[in-house]
């Protein structure tokens, strides 16, 4: 029997994989190159392998937060997809805030190159896909 926690963990892993695929396909869609693991490793001064571990750990933690924090708040929303979109947008906003904080803590990071609109668009697309996949896997009814 699957528990809600194990479903959320699996959902976090699968959703992070889906978001990662979007990151790697972004340049083929006219969006800037995105690599969250490399960005994390660069900011923290750790090997990129640790950045990948952190990337997936964050994906799992957010999926658990979805289960325990967002599902109760969004109980009137019936659609898993709509719940996922709301969650994905919330995670995107939180991620942007945390990147700013981490930049202050760990020292500045390189300014992104390219159109800021396209960078933000790619980030929103990736996080919304993440949110929808988490919502579907975590059994957010």
**10 Å Cβ neighbour count for 47?**
10
Which pLDDT value is given to residue 140?
58
| pTM for the model | 0.87
Average pLDDT for runs of 10 along the chain of length 141: 84 95 88 83 86 94 93 89 95 88 70 74 92 87 64
Task: Return the domain boundaries, the chain.
Answer: 4-137
Torsions phi, psi for 13 (to 5 deg): -70, -50
Which pLDDT value is given to residue 1?
46
Which pLDDT value is given to residue 20?
93
Burial class (CB in 10 A: 0-12, 13-18, 19+), 105: exposed
Nearest-angstrom CA–CA distance, 7 and 2: 7
Question: What is the four-CA torsion angle of 23, 24, 26, 28, rounded to 10 degrees?
Answer: -170
Tell how many helices (H) and how many strands (E) occur in the chain. Answer: 6, 0
Which pLDDT value is given to residue 82?
94
């Amino acid at each position: 029997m699957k528990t809600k926690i194990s479903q959320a963990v699996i959902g976090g892993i699968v959703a992070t994989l889906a978001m990662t695929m979007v990151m790697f396909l972004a340049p083929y869609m006219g969006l800037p190159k995105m690599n969250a693991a490399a960005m994390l490793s660069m900011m923290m001064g750790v090997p990129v392998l640790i950045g990948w571990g952190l990337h997936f750990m964050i994906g799992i933690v957010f999926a658990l937060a979805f289960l325990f924090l967002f599902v109760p708040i969004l109980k009137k929303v019936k659609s898993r997809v709509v719940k996922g979109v709301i969650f994905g947008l919330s995670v995107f906003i939180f991620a942007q805030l945390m990147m700013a904080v981490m930049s202050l803590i760990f020292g500045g990071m390189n300014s992104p190159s390219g159109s800021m609109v396209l960078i933000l668009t790619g980030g929103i697309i990736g996080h919304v896909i993440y949110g929808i996949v988490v919502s579907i896997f975590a059994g957010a009814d």
